[in-house]
A = this chain, B = another copy of it.
Amino acid sequence: MKTATAPLHLIPAGLGEAAWEIWLPPATREAALGLTHWVVENAKTTRAQLKALGHPGPMAEISITELPRQPKQEDLDRLLAPALAGIPLGLMSEAGCPAIADPGALLVRRAHERGVPVKPHVGPSSLLLALMASGLDGQRFAFHGYLPVKEPELLEALKRLEKDSARLSQTQVFIETPYRNARSFAAILAACRDGTRLALACGLTTADEWVMSRTVRDWKQTAPPPIEKVPTVFCLLG
């Protein structure tokens, strides 16, 4: 008799210090606590997440395997082996929703190819929370990940995003390594037009959360916001 294939559960991780009740539906928590096999971005993070969800058992009994940064097909097949053998498998990334613009997507794609059912679970996404709270009424939106690091390329990228935003009525969403946040904020004020709207969403779901949304003109007239070293999502509408 052929063993039935078990699903690959996509389990979101928390965004920062906060009780799970704030950011996870009870059914997602239950699914996470029931899993014995995981593929994850960072094993230490996943152990901490499971503890925060109130996992009762010893962590040593849970199989947690880290996903290679550039997984080959044979890696993916090896990682999917439990699901193919009938054991439900979890996928978790470092923070927020897994398999969005990260290598986890390759595992999900391979799951589809191998006939493993894929089960997405509701959880926190800093991009989506930022977009909701930005008040930017683009009819469309685009997420760009990280912008270029070097100054001339960064300014050029910002000008292009602003132009596309105005042309397509598209809210532009991007993130930055926290220690570069203040520098990116300064670059936006330098590159963008006064009438362009910029929203900053900081420390989402944590006790220190705040969201501010105003025009570049208004941002120029206030003290720089306290975004250095705090996870921040930038939303821009030209």
Is A204's CB under 8 angstroms from B120's CB?
yes
- Which of B128, B138, B142, B145 interacts with A128 by CB under 8 Å? B128
CB contacts (< 8 Å) of A101 on chain B: these are 137-141
CA of A107 to CA of B213 in the docked complex: distance in angstroms? 12
Q: How far is the CB of A217 from chain B (nearest CB, A)?
A: 13
Q: Which residues of A38-60 have CB atoms within 8 Å of chain B's CB atoms? A: none
Q: How far is the CB of A7 from chain B (nearest CB, A)?
A: 11
Q: Which residues of A110-136 have CB atoms within 8 Å of chain B's CB atoms? A: 110-113, 117-120, 122-125, 127-136
Is B99's CB under 8 angstroms from A132's CB?
yes
CB contacts (< 8 Å) of A143 on chain B: these are 140-142
Secondary structure type dominating chain A contacts: mixed
Q: How far is the CB of A135 from chain B (nearest CB, A)?
A: 3
CB contacts (< 8 Å) of A10 on chain B: these are 132-133
Segment among A22-30, A61-69, A81-89 that sits at the interface with chain B: A22-30
Asked if A180 is an interface residue, CB under 8 A from chain B, the answer is no
Q: How far is the CB of A24 from chain B (nearest CB, A)?
A: 6
- Give the bracket for the number of chain A residues in contact with chain B: 35 or more
CA of A113 to CA of B217 in the docked complex: distance in angstroms? 13
Is A142's CB under 8 angstroms from B140's CB?
yes
CA of A28 to CA of B28 in the docked complex: distance in angstroms? 14
Q: Which of chain B's residues has its CB closest to A118's CB? A: B133
Asked if A181 is an interface residue, CB under 8 A from chain B, the answer is no
Q: How far is the CB of A118 from chain B (nearest CB, A)?
A: 5
CB contacts (< 8 Å) of A210 on chain B: these are 117
CB contacts (< 8 Å) of A130 on chain B: these are 120
CB contacts (< 8 Å) of A212 on chain B: these are 112
CB contacts (< 8 Å) of A100 on chain B: these are 128, 131-132, 141
CB contacts (< 8 Å) of A133 on chain B: these are 10, 99, 108, 118-120
Is B125's CB under 8 angstroms from A128's CB?
yes
CA of A137 to CA of B170 in the docked complex: distance in angstroms? 21
Greatest chain B CB density within 10 A among A118, A205, A210 is at A118
CA of A54 to CA of B61 in the docked complex: distance in angstroms? 38
